Amino acid sequence: MYLHLGGGYIVNEKDIVGIFDIENTSVSRITKEFLSLSSKHKRVVNCSYEMPKSFIVCLDGELSETVYISQLACSTLLKRNRKGLNAGISADTENDREAVKH
């Protein structure tokens, strides 16, 4: 399943390490350093130039992270994620039922 982060950016849910509220977590010195280093190494993608509300950390194939800055709130992203998971579960359940019938 995929998660739409806003601004036309979509990531594979399997690659997501975490979804973080930018206002609450950027108070921490460690988080500030992480975001600063990610930006320095050109690993930050701004999904929109609107006021950022969250950042999403994803691992790519080389086990290096990409940080997506999104204008969407964490709660919105988590709801989208749950809807996708529930849709996947429903589809899998239907497929299992069909397999049992045959």
pLDDT at position 85: 54
Amino acid identity of residue 51, one-letter, is M
Q: What pLDDT digit, counting tens, does each position of 46-78 carry?
A: 999 899 999 999 998 777 899 999 999 999 998
Strand 65-70 and strand 44-46: the pairing is: parallel
Instruction: Name the phi and psi angles at 58, rounded to 5.
Output: -125, 150
**pLDDT at 41 (0 to 100):** 95
Residues sharing a CB contact under 8 Å with residue 31, sequence separation 6 or more, in sequence order: 20, 25
Task: Please state, rounded to an integer, the average pLDDT across all residues of the chain.
Answer: 83
- Tokens 């609450």 locate to 24
DSSP classification of residue 4: E
Residue 100 scores a pLDDT above 90 = no
The answer on pLDDT for 9 being more than 90 is: yes
